[in-house]
Amino acid sequence: MNRTLSTLWQTMRTDWRALALWGLSFAILAQVLMMIALMVRFQDVPNYVEFYDWFGNVFWIIQSTPSWGDIPPIIAEEWLIEIGFMNYDYGMGISEWSLNVIPSRMVVLFGLGALVGLCRTLARSNTCSLEERRGLTAATGVGTVLVSMTNATMSWVVCCAAPSWVVGLAMLGLGVSTSLAIQDLGPLISGSGFAVLGTLALYLSWTKSRGLRMNGVASHA
Amino acid sequence: MTMIPKFGLPILALGLTSLAASVSAETIPIAIGHQSMCTDTYTAGIVIKELGLLEKYLPTDGDYADVEYDISWADYSSGGPITNQMLANKLNFGVMGDYPLIVNGAKFQETESLRTLYVAGTGYNLKGSGNAIVVPVDSDIYSITELEGMEVSTPVGSAAWGMLLKAMADNGIATDQYVLKNQSPAVGAANIAAGKIDAHSDFCPWSEIMEFRETGRKIYDGSETGVPYLHGVVVREDFAQEYPEVVTAFVMAVYEAGDWIREDPMRAVTMMEGWTGVEKEVLYLYFSVGGHLTLDPTIKPEWTEALKFNHGVLVQEVSVPPLDFDAWITEDYVKAAYEALGEDYEAEKAIAVDPAVANAGLPLEIWHAREGILTFDDAPSFLAAMAEIQMEASKVNATYVYDVDTGLKLFGKTAFWVQSGDDFTTFLRKGEAEEFAAANGGTLIEFEDAILGFMPTEG
């Protein structure tokens, strides 16, 4: 186990720049994909953007919230940028849909991207069969989807009472009963995604540290 | 020994006084989250803001003698974001409808150190009008019972969603017998206009906007569920504890906003249209005599019961945290406001306006574009006036009649008219109109045909 962890640490230390790039790319790409999904779903391009003083707001929350335990969940909901479509057919305009760039979610997506990058780096140094390669790719995909879907930051006025991560999925067509049923499972789903990717990274590190040579050509997850 | 020149003493004293004043001077930020697209919140939001009513009542003596106020207003499309902003302490006050209010209280009580207080109402409809189910105007659906197997959309988590769940259950339609879709008001309204959805359930004033624009037709009014629909004001408890007089001042402003609307509803809705962009004719349905909304800041026992019922729905459907209603609801500030205004709180609290009773016998109205609101005691004189106006080719902004069963105020053009001899009766729904016509030897007719009967014949 020590050798596995050592290999993992060594890889991270050596390739930290690449992993950081993976994380950053993932966090940005996720925002771009969500925006494209919203534009395709609603057949409109965004017509407004708003920037928020995230640092100032976080400072104010820390300053004015009595309990330290209450601070993280409140900061986690702070927005940095809001991009959306304002419908001027009603009232002075009503935001019909929007994508919210939320730093706390960006951090999670950054971690996800870095983890995927780590798996890829470890897998590249292994050789594996076609079946194994497919398995690794599938596992990476499952982990990525599980984490990504629970960090969707698309919203609309629907979230009158209880905004949550399932709103974004509902906007893309997920049924009401399904979305309400899985709403509370967000942390579990996200945790499972990270667990899949973490396990995969450990497995790949283990195979690498044992110098196992798998059959087939060199590949990556 | 150093001597201070005589003329120097007053200067020194003045300087010290200025220093003391600047030290004791305090700026109190008052940040309010309101909703300009939600009619029932206006008396605690847009009206106070635009008329400067809060400034009028804010304390300026005693502890507040040297205080300056920094009042800011933030407009939101729904209550959820207001709660998030209140949690972040960027808003002190929030104005919202019953379901978001409950979530507000529960989310705050879920924290270790933060709480809100429900300090006043804005208005209510005793039976639940304001929420409604609408179908495309050309749809052949006329009753909620016909929605079995159909696609129905609603903003999930809103009061309209709660109403829809209850209405369908009351009419024997189980959740697996219709397709429920999650849609925002603007998207739902657009889909109704395009006929892309069978029905859409929404909150105030979206159903009436669709009716006024002749894209949608109401088939079910929230009043049929019998659950009161109310809106109110929440404030962060830490703010209320530090500045209780400011909270009382805010409730006094709410009260005066209601008075201002009641004083001249036509003037009020015309000005509110300019502030909010919502059509004045739609707003008149809410704010006029006999309208959907009773402006009343008091907190009645029925409201607590209604909020508890709504909380039960939210707990069951979306896992909202528990809410200690006794700790959350307080009448202290609203009572203090009434006392300061010299009004009788208990007397107003005891009154609950039931539209079915209160609206019986109210005159029918024509909003003439030039002459304003014209009232008529009976339908024949109302229809004769409409015929005359049409002959003159004058412009009518809107007409208003009442559903005979519920007392609900309706647009004349969207009501179902029954002619029985010389009498005319108006209904919200086609089914009831047909039943009445059959029982009274009447005929179901279109509004335009009813007017046509009063056109003078040539020769």
Domain count of chain A?
Answer: 1
pLDDT in tens, B246-262: 999 999 999 999 999 99
| Lookup result for tokens 């749809």 | B139
Give the tens place of pLDDT for each residue, A51-105.
999 999 999 999 999 999 999 999 998 999 999 999 999 888 888 888 999 999 9
- The helix or strand, by DSSP H or E, that contains position B396, with its residue range, turns out to be strand B396-402
Task: Return the sign of the alpha-carbon dihedral for residues B32, B186, B401, B372.
Answer: positive
* A150 within some domain: yes
Which residues lie across from B229 on neighbouring strands? B125
Q: Which positions ≥6 away from B18 have C-beta within 8 Å?
A: none
* pLDDT tens-digit series, residues B122-138: 999 998 888 999 999 99
Half-sphere exposure of B238 (CA within 13 A, CB side): 15
Interface test with A, best of B49, B184, B231, B241 (most A CBs within 10 A): B184
Mean pLDDT score across all residues of chain A: 85
* pLDDT value of position A127: 66
Q: Pick from A90, A94, A97, A166 the residue to mutate for testing the B interface (most B CBs within 10 Å).
A: A90
- List where CATH 3.40.190.10 sits in chain B: 9-123+229-349, 132-224
Given pLDDT bands bounded at 50, 70 and 90, which one contains residue A216?
very low
Separation CA B433–CA B415 (nearest Å): 9
* DSSP string across B83-108: HHHHHTTS-SEEEEEHHHHHHHHHHH
Mean pLDDT of B390-406: 95
Beta-strand pair B26-34/B199-202? unpaired
Range of the domain at A162: 2-209
CA distance, residue B382 to nearest chain A CA (Å): 31
Asked if residue A219 belongs to a domain, the reply is no
| Backbone φ/ψ region at B330: left (φ over 0), alpha (ψ -120 to 50), beta | beta
Nearest Cα to Cα of residue B124 among B303, B275, B268: B303
> Is A17's Cβ below 8 Å from some Cβ in B?
no
Evaluate the omega torsion of the peptide bond into residue B5 and state whether it is cis, within 30 degrees of 0: no
Is A177 a member of any domain?
A: yes
Look at residues A87, A116, A140, A88 and name the one whose alpha carbon lies nearest to residue A27: A116
Could B103 and A65 be called an inter-chain contact, meaning their C-beta atoms sit closer than 8 Å?
no
- Give how far the C-alpha of residue B365 lies from the chain's centroid of Cα atoms, to the nearest Å: 21
Taking an 8 Å cut-off on Cβ atoms, the answer to whether B37 and A175 are in contact is no
Tell me the nearest-neighbour CA distance from A89 into chain B, angstroms: 8
Asked if B11 has any chain A CB less than 8 Å from its own CB, the reply is no
What pLDDT, on the 0 to 100 scale, is given for residue B403?
95
* CATH number for the segment(s) B132-224: 3.40.190.10
How many interface pairs between A and B have CB atoms less than 8 angstroms apart?
133
CB atoms under 10 Å from CB of B266, counted, come to: 17
CA distance B96 to B390: 41
Query: Is the model's pLDDT at A1 over the cut of 90?
Result: no
CA–CA separation, B287 and B280 (whole Å):
10
pLDDT at A158: 55
What are the φ and ψ backbone dihedral angles of A148, each rounded to 5 degrees?
-60, -45
Token representation of residue B89: 């302490």
* DSSP-based three-state secondary structure for A50: strand
The C-alpha atoms of residue B455 and residue B386 are separated, in whole angstroms, by 9
* Strands (E) located in A79-138: 81-87, 94-101
Average pLDDT, chain B: 91
Q: Does B314 touch chain A (CB under 8 A)?
A: yes
Q: Looking at the complex, report in whole angstroms how far the Cα of residue A90 sits from the nearest Cα belonging to chain B.
A: 7
Alpha-carbon torsion angle B109, B111, B113, B116, nearest 10: -40
CB contact under 8 A, B84 and A69: no
For A177, nearest residue in chain B (alpha carbons): B180
- When CB atoms are compared, the residue of B113, B155, B159 closest to A157 is B155
**Closest partner residue to B157 among A57, A97, A159, by Cβ?**
A159
State the fold for domain B9-123+229-349: D-Maltodextrin-Binding Protein; domain 2 (3.40.190)
Q: Which of B330, B333, B328 is nearest to B250 (CA)?
A: B333
pLDDT band at A172 (very low <50, low <70, confident <90, very high): confident
Q: Is A78 left (phi over 0), alpha (psi -120 to 50) or beta?
A: beta
CA separation for the pair B209, A94 (Å, rounded): 14
Q: Do residue A156 and residue B209 have CB atoms under 8 angstroms apart?
A: no
d(CA B79, CA B96): 5
Instruction: Please report the pLDDT score of residue A217 as a whole number.
Output: 42
Closest residue to A67, CB basis, from B99, B113, B156: B113
* Residue that has been written with the tokens 């007397």 in this structure: B347
CB contact under 8 A, A69 and B112: yes
Query: Which residues does chain B have within 8 Å of residue A162's beta carbon, measured at their own beta carbons?
Result: 80, 103, 157, 314, 318, 320
Does the beta-carbon distance from A160 to B114 stay under 8 Å? no
**Residue recorded with tokens 């450990």:** A202
Residue-wise pLDDT for B215-227, tens only, equals 999 999 998 888 8
Q: Which of B113, B157, B182 sits opposite A70 (nearest CB)?
A: B113
Q: Using CB atoms, which residue from B103, B159, B186 is nearest to A94?
A: B186
Per-residue pLDDT for B10 more than 60? Answer: no
Number of Cβ within a 10 Å radius of residue B406: 21
* Gyration radius of chain B over CA positions: 26
B103 contacts on A by Cβ (under 8 Å): 161-162
What tens digit of pLDDT does each residue of B357-383 get? 999 999 999 999 999 999 999 999 999
CB contacts of B159 in chain A (<8 Å) are: 160
Length of chain B: 459
Q: Do B186 and A65 touch (CB under 8 A)?
A: no
Beta carbons of A57 and B90 less than 8 Å apart: yes
Is the residue at A216 inside a domain? no
Rg (CA), chain A: 20
Shortest distance, CA A152 to any CA of chain B (angstroms): 16
Is residue A173 scored above 80 in pLDDT?
Answer: no
- Report pLDDT for A220: 42
Confidence of residue A168 (pLDDT cuts 50, 70, 90): confident
Q: Does B37 touch chain A (CB under 8 A)?
A: yes
* Predicted complex ipTM: 0.83
Alpha helices in chain A (DSSP H): 2-14, 16-42, 54-64, 71-76, 103-124, 130-149, 166-171, 176-182, 186-209
Residue B371 backbone dihedrals phi, psi, to 5 degrees: -95, -10
**What would the two tokens of residue B23 be?**
């030290």
